[in-house]
Amino acid sequence: MNPNTPKSTPESKASSRPPRKSLAAWTLLLPALLLAGVVWQARQEPESTSAPATNDGVGATPTKKAAPAAVAKPIIYTLFIPGDDGELHRKIVKDPNKTFTREDFAYRKTELQTQVMTKALELLFQEAPESFPKGTRLLRPVGMDGRARVDLSKEFAANADSWSSMETLMRVYSIVNTVIETKEQVSGSESSEVLFLIEGKPISTLGELDASDAIEPDMSLVAKS
């Protein structure tokens, strides 16, 4: 041993160790400091997790938009009533109790078409009974097989050979225009033709018109008023 090396004394050893009292104090203080940090962090967070929306949408919390409610549209029946002036006169009839939505159009379009075409013809015969042969009536709902099928009672065509040109045009196109114009609100771009049946059977002519095939509407006969 070097005689010049200072000897360790009990006092020097004691001074090199951390005081036991200070260590115990830190042990008690540490949890309090951690708790204070948690409280401070909580105070820095906003009360709501949703940031307020701005005009440009920046900072807004995305939210799931509710599906828009189905908008119901009223059913409109467009009647073309024969006039003494040799023109068809348009009459609009709205039924506030009958409506349809886009969902109806998508999932029950054929049913809707049948309903509106049938009702339109019934209204036509009620509104202008004098324009058609007595006893004319629709025997069954208007069918759809790519074209509208109108089945009328035998009274409609009983004396068709004696119809004048104007009577033929007014009677036939009153029905055709009414069916197609009313149907188109729930039909899109489907066929716009009417096939006439009498007592469920096809016919060859109505007056001077060829009725062996489906007939398209003729809006040139409609009054411009």
3-state secondary structure of 4: coil
Tens-digit pLDDT string for the chain (225 aa) = 444 545 555 444 444 555 555 555 555 566 566 666 655 565 655 544 444 444 544 555 555 565 455 677 788 899 999 999 999 999 999 887 777 666 666 667 778 888 899 999 999 999 999 999 999 999 999 998 888 999 999 999 999 999 999 999 999 999 999 999 998 887 765 668 999 999 999 999 999 999 999 999 999 999 987
Domain boundaries, the chain: 73-220
pTM over 0.75: no
Question: Among candidates 96, 95, 97, 100, which has minimal Cα distance to 73?
Answer: 100
